[in-house]
Structure 1
Amino acid sequence: MKRGILVLTNTSQRKSSKKVPILVSAPLYWCPRCNVPLLGSKCGKCGGDGYRLRVTPPGDVRPALSGDLKRLKAALLDYFDSSEAVFEFIDFRKPILLNKIPYPDAADEVIVDGQIVGHLFYDVLEEKWRFKPLYSGVARILEKKLAPYAVISLERVARRFEVKKTEIVELSGEWTRGRFISVGLASGRQQAVGVIIRGRIRILKVWYSKSYLELPGTPTWLDVIRANEKYLQEKEAEAIKFIKDMVKKVKKPIFVSFSGGKDSLVTYYLTKTALGYAPPLLFNDTGIELPETVSYVKSFVEKENARLIYADAGEKFWHAVNIMGPPARDYRWCCKVVKLTPIAKAVEKVFPEGAVSVVGQRKYESMARARSPRVWVNKWIPKVIAIAPIQDWSALDVWLYIMRNRLTPNPLYFLGFDRLGCWLCPATELGEMRTVKEVYPELWSTWEAFLRKYGAAKNAPKEWIKLGLWRWVKIPGDIKRILPKELDKLTIRRGIEFSIKSEGSRLVIELEEGEIIHEKLREVLKIFPGKVKYRVSGKSVIFEDKKWGIHLLMALVRALFCVECEACALKCPASAIKIDGYPHIDAAKCSHCLICNTSCPIAVYTLKIKHNLNIEKLKNEYGL
């Protein structure tokens, strides 16, 4: 069965609303005569057919840039017994591709000469990038006798089989526990990759033997562009036509959402070409952007003589993180505070009647984006229609377009960064965070200092920081498998600590932190119709009537732990909320719809985190 991004989508051929899975995987071909990757099946350089190169889906391959090549060389130098072996194994003058693959942390398939030669991955426990040879890479090692390798006398092997030293007829390289080693059968029937354990080799993966295909020449990236020129022209023409059609259809002002990354760079130039002028660019400074990105965006806008719409979250992340704790992949309060709300505010100010936002979204980036249509309305900015002209482009499409048109990408890509954005995002892998630490040590030390302080207050083990476990509230299974057993059930509570109980008609909420300030609480309780009666006893707030249920808790959180993100004010349909340290309610305007409660990321995530992100469980447990 093929693997890739499986997307559940409604099928028009059926009357029912049942969803069916669709496989999303970017096609990739290789020209064996020109030795270049192809985006389509025909080579534009020699006119011949390319062969389909099977890579791990979704196959969002990208060029190995200077920072990537530096990392790859370092991992190969660490793997092989000599530096000479590294350059016999890979000719770094040729185009090299990387393809992200599922691993416990950051990992790529390494593709050269139209073949997968191995995996470059970040070893979380050893805290370094490592290389594991595979397929054609193992064949090349065995053919050229590049240590480490072993030839064994067995007739066949299988995965997890352990080869004894007495069964090895030829061995080259240092025998080090945990080291990957290429394995060939003396009969020539099979090849494998194994790992050295004690006095044996444990087979990790095995396949029928193949040879390394040494393709001709040392093509350049200019050759790659020439081979794909027609394909790029067609992609460009389709995207430009799509933008023009949408502008005519929607008839609203247009702007480009510009992150400073490669995808938004290409999207901007496509939009500029379609319109015939430089469109405004919207940049959201989350307050945790890398300095190079902020300076790149500003210099780019100046060079293009374009209008910059600057959404600015300021210090809101650092204010909120002291209340909510570190964000996590399953606890992403930060997106609402430092991304969606500042963007919505900026757009509402500049385009009060709505607009078209051109975004650099691509379907091969994630399952969520693969499910997304090409045109949609964001629920946080309902007056804005988002369109994605490069939705069907792969990362290689994007990079070849950048090279072909001599566009200037963010220089961080050449320092080893693949994704840009919030530099401490929990969706980032440890291998990527290591790059942040190397390039911006002062920034990373600030975050580590916060994690150490927060972890100490929660009695978190040192592995919580060292292994990046703070990136999850509930640690997933693939990560648990590589952890010591004592960390299997590790749970570090975060967010606002409280207890809640129902006593007859009353609701009692006890806070473990914060100060109960009557002035703030009375102000926010104006969102309810009529007077809400309550009294305070120590750290407890006792509401006399629990009929408003968890909305009372949400109002309490909003009153005492406001981070001034202004999400509630932005979402209020009556414009009845002003933020000045905390929410101030205009009772004459308020319609008591309680949308402000459900719009507050601090209140919503406080409820979610209480019961493993399950609000219904909270409701049922307390009879609310």
Structure 2
Amino acid sequence: MMKNVRWCTSCNVPIIGELCNICGNSGRRCAKDLKPIFNSERALFEELLGIRLPSFTFRYRNRIISEGRTFLTFKLDAVNKRLMPLYHQGQENTGYAEEVDFAEGIRLTIKANVKHLKEKERTAVNFIKEATSNYSRTFILFGGGKDSAVVAMLAKEALGSVPLLFIDTTLEFPETYKFVEEFSRTYGFPLIKDDDGEYYRAKLNFFQLCKRLGPPSIYCRWCCHIFKEQPVRRFINNHLNDPTDAAFLTGIRRCESRRRGNYAPIELGKRIVGQTLVQPINDWSDLEVWLYVFWKGIKINDLYELGHARVGCWPCPCTPPLMDFVRQLTHSSLWTKFEEVLLAYATENNRSREWVRKGLWRLRRPKRQKIFVYPLHIEGGDSEILFKYFIPHKTSLFEWLKILGDVKADEDKYLKLKTKRGFEVRCKIEGPQVKLMVKCAKRDYISVKTLIEKVLFRSLNCIECGACSGSCSKGAIQAIEGKVIINLKKCDRCWSCLKNSCIVQDSEKMYVVKLDPFSLIPCEKGLPMNHVIFLSKEIGKRVAERFKARGVNVEIHEGGKVICIDADITREEIEELVLSALEG
């Protein structure tokens, strides 16, 4: 667990170890963590607050700390774009003779913590050596921030110059692109680029996707899956025969967020199957990272001196409100471009301008409206069931069906698929629709239902972003020129791609195909009843018995092939009892 920062009252500096290395004082509790305030950043805060700040100051959230005490607290007024002071220490006598210069204060702070910094460095370097010893190749996932810069320098100490893999999300600040090139050139790190000499990036437009999926939020971060993970998978497919034989060093730290608080020093990729993440500064605090940067004189991104606490994509919804405010001030033209997208979404979804101005878009939850597609016709023999549908025509349908079995297609108009598991799928394009038929053995119905519904969900809602490519350890899913392609030479039909969620599950609306072995028809006489028609009398009788056991009034007709139930009973409830009847 990360310890609180303490303040040496004798030397007037923060300490991150047990004792001050200058005087041996244990100090007193100061804050959970600290970020130094740079001179340019201080000038910005002074302008916003209307209060002069001491030269050597730190910040923790909405607290500005000087000489180990809270000098000032403030509140963000996002609507009026200002900072409002809440508490100001003023000119009270602090007991120190004179104000400390920023550079001198940092020099003394390093001196007071040098033993702790040396131990953190030694531990991290040894960890990198040990963690990567079983891998033939090592790369650094370089994001352009202070954390990945520190990891790069630690890796250089441990292994030499490790290649940097910078993923261009196309949403980086201009300062970040400049810094990545300068850092690589200054310290001699190879910078990985694709065959065209460009950074690895997703070949999609963020703003167009915002129209389809809605703007990203902390609850639906589709942007990370598309613009970060997909390019990494493409790099792995292009350069690594065995992705499990490579280690990827990252600057992820547990104190950055609740989600990252659960990260281990070594993690297997969850979204990018086969990837191994090695996180040597996983347990470092913000102040430890900053002091290491100052101690080693490591170059940093200019964004930090402008007031940014973290570096990332400029429209990122996970940016804290204060940093959201700062980026609007320092990069107003970029923010205006994104604000237009947010306002357009707000108008279409009956949201006010305040929803955007207050930053409530960051908390957006998608509607997830489901458009259900049910069988138009069901036929049942002694051993088989045949389902017939009309579904929307999507170009991705034929491609996704390849993962089920051997496909025979006729000029992309007609498709026939037969699998080793004994079920068949046939498709015929008829204008804007596809006539779909699914045939399976009754004994295999439940397993086939799950599989077919997942594949049809993927294919009908696919926006061909390639985010799912990370879920295939064989690299069989690729996004090429805006289309998802299934490489049958690599696909072993393990269906692991269907186990991970698809980003369209967080979209505003989606198609859901149901492979239900019954039809639901409202009462023709206008009574508040529904007729449920089954393939066989036996299934109908079992379902009726289960409804009766729940105290539901049921009428049985035609020996059980048709039952009548109250109209308030939902289709989901009927489906649940039908599946239990088939299993039992």
> TM-score, length-normalised on structure 1?
0.68
Q: Deviations over 1:34-86 (max 9, x none)?
A: 111111232222x231323143xxx2311112343123313431xxxxxxxx4
Alignment check: 8 A CA contact 1:509 1:540 kept: no
| 2:465 corresponds to which of 565, 579, 582 | 565
Larger displacement relative to structure 2 (578-587 or 111-120):
578-587
| Equivalent position of 1:192 in the other structure | none
Instruction: Tell me if structure 1 keeps the 8 A contact 2:377–2:388.
Output: no
Q: 2:286 aligns with which of 391, 395, 403?
A: 395
Q: Which residue of 2 aligns with 1:329?
A: 218
Q: Distance in 1 between matches of 2:435 and 2:110?
A: 69
Question: 2:95 is matched with which residue?
Answer: 214
Three-state SS of the structure 2 residue aligned to 1:312 is coil
Structure-to-structure mapping, 1:220-369, within 5 angstroms: 220-248=105-133, 250-275=134-159, 277-309=160-192, 310-353=199-242, 354-369=245-260
Q: CA deviation at 1:566?
A: 2.8
* Structure 2 letter corresponding to 1:331: C
Aligned partners of 2:39 and 2:511: how far apart in 1?
45
Q: 1:519 to 1:60 in 2, by over 3 A?
A: same
Alignment of 1:467-486 (within 5 A): 467-474=358-365
Which residue is 2:566 aligned to? none
How far did residue 443 of structure 1 move?
1.6
Where does residue 371 of structure 2 map in the other structure?
498
Offset at residue 27 of structure 1 (A) = 2.3
Name 1:26's counterpart in structure 2. Answer: 3
Query: What is aligned with 2:85?
Result: 131
Whichever residue aligns with residue 30 of structure 1, its letter is W
**CA displacement, residues 180-232 of structure 1 (integer Å, 9 cap, x when unaligned):** xxxxxxxxxxxxxxxxxxxxxxxxxxxxxxxx643344332211111222221
Q: Which amino acid aligns with 2:221?
A: R
The equivalent position to 2:74 in structure 1, one of 115, 120, 132, is: 120
CA distance in 1, matches of 2:387, 2:463: 25
1:99 aligns with 2:53: no
Alpha-carbon contact 1:30-1:36 (below 8 Å) kept: yes
Unaligned runs of 5+ in 1: 1-23, 78-85, 101-107, 145-211, 475-491, 612-616
The whole-number CA distance in structure 1 between the counterparts of 2:332 and 2:260 is 32
**What RMSD in Å do the two structures reach over aligned CA positions?**
3.5
Q: Secondary structure at the match of 2:84?
A: strand
Please name the residue that 2:306 is paired with: 415
Q: Which moved more, 1:516-525 or 1:321-330?
A: 516-525
**Per-residue deviation, 1:577:** 4.7
Map of 1:63 onto structure 2:
36
What is the SS of the residue equivalent to 1:527?
A: coil
- Whole-Å Cα distance in 1 between the matches of residues 358 and 388 of structure 2? 39
Whole-angstrom CA distance in 2 between matches of 1:32 and 1:538: 79
**CA shift for structure 1 position 271:** 1.0
> Residue type matched to 2:12 in 1?
N
For the 8 Å contact 2:461–2:510, the answer to whether it is kept is no
In structure 2, what is the Cα distance between the partners aligned to 1:125 and 1:299?
37
Sort the Cα spacing of 1:551 and 1:455 in 2 relative to 1 into closer, same or farther, 3 A: farther
Q: Give 2:24's match in structure 1, choosing from 45, 48, 51.
A: 48
Structure 2 matches for 1:432-451, cutoff 5 A? 432-451=323-342
- Partner of 2:223, secondary structure, is helix
Question: In the alignment, which of 602, 611, 619 is matched to residue 503 of structure 2?
Answer: 602
Q: Which of these residues, 491, 507, 528, is aligned with residue 404 of structure 2?
A: 528
AA in 2 matched with 1:247: T
How far apart, CA to CA, are the structure 2 residues paired with 1:72 and 1:566? 42
- 1:394-442, CA deviations, whole angstroms, 9 ceiling, x for partnerless residues? 1111111111111110001011111111111111134322322222222
Separation (CA, whole Å) in 2 of partners of 1:245 and 1:307: 22
* Alpha-carbon distance between aligned partners in 2 of 1:521 and 1:295, rounded to the nearest angstrom: 42
Displacement after TM superposition at 1:496 (Å): 7.5
Question: 1:529-548 counterparts in 2 under 5 A?
Answer: 529=405, 530=418, 531-533=424-426, 544-545=437-438, 548=448
Structure 1 CA distance for aligned equivalents of residues 240 and 427 of structure 2: 42
Question: In the alignment, is the contact (CA less than 8 A) between 2:269 and 2:275 conserved in 1?
Answer: yes
Cα distance, 1:31 vs. partner? 1.3
Aligned residues: 476
Q: Does 2:12 correspond to 1:35? A: yes
Question: CA shift at 1:268, angstroms?
Answer: 0.8
* Bigger shift: residues 495-504 or 412-421: 495-504
CA separation in 1, counterparts of 2:387 and 2:331?
48
Q: The residue matched to 2:402 in structure 1 has which SS?
A: helix
Q: Is contact 2:33–2:286 with CA below 8 Å preserved after alignment?
A: yes
Kept in 1, the 8 Å contact 2:230–2:468? The answer is no
Deviation at 1:500, TM superposition (A): 4.4
Check conservation: 2:74, 2:84, Cα contact below 8 A.
Answer: yes
1:537–1:459 distance in 2 versus 1, CA, 3 Å? farther
Residue in 1 that maps onto 2:393? 517
Q: Please, which moves more after superposition, 375-384 or 408-417?
A: 375-384
**What is the CA–CA distance in structure 2 between the aligned matches of 1:402 and 1:375, rounded to whole Å?**
23
Whether contact under 8 Å (1:501, 1:507) holds in the other structure is no
Secondary structure at the aligned position of 1:131 is classed as: strand
Rg bigger for which structure? 2
CA distance in 2 between counterparts of 1:325 and 1:436 reads 21
Letter in 2 for 1:214: G
Distance 1:568 1:76 in 2: 46
Distance 2:347 2:154 in 1: 50
> How far did residue 269 of structure 1 move?
0.8
Cα contact 2:8–2:14 (8 A) shared by 1: yes
Shift in CA distance, 294/31, structure 1 to aligned 2, threshold 3 Å:
same
For 1:65, give the aligned amino acid: F
Superposition pairs of residues 443-462 of structure 1, within 5 angstroms:
443-462=334-353
2:39 maps to 1:74 = no
TM-score using structure 2 length = 0.72
CA contact (8 A) 1:557 1:603 kept: no
* Conserved 8 A contact 1:502-1:622: no
1:26 offset after TM fit, Å? 2.9
Distance in 1, Cα, partners of 2:433 & 2:85: 56
Secondary structure (helix, strand or coil) at the match of 1:443 reads: helix
Amino acid of the structure 2 residue aligned with 1:254: T
Opposite residue 327 of structure 1, the aligned amino acid is P
Task: Describe the superposition over 1:345-388 as per-residue Cα deviations: whole angstroms up to 9, x where unpaired.
Answer: 21343333321222112222122322222122213344443222
SS in 2 for 1:53: strand
- State how far apart, in whole Å, the 2-side matches of 1:397 and 1:458 are: 44
Deviation, 1:622, is 6.4
Q: Distance in 1 between matches of 2:478 and 2:124?
A: 42
Aligned partners of 1:359 and 1:389 also within 8 Å: yes
Distance change >3 Å, CA 52–CA 349, structure 1 → 2: farther
SS at match of 1:37: strand
- Residue by residue over 1:516-546, the C-alpha shift from the partner in whole angstroms, topping out at 9 and shown as x without a partner, is 4365433433333534346889988775559
Q: Is the contact between residue 378 and residue 385 of structure 1 (CA under 8 Å) also seen in structure 2?
A: yes
Q: Is the 8 A contact 2:272 2:472 kept in 1?
A: no
Given that 1:598 and 1:604 are in contact with CA atoms closer than 8 Å, whether structure 2 keeps it comes out as: no
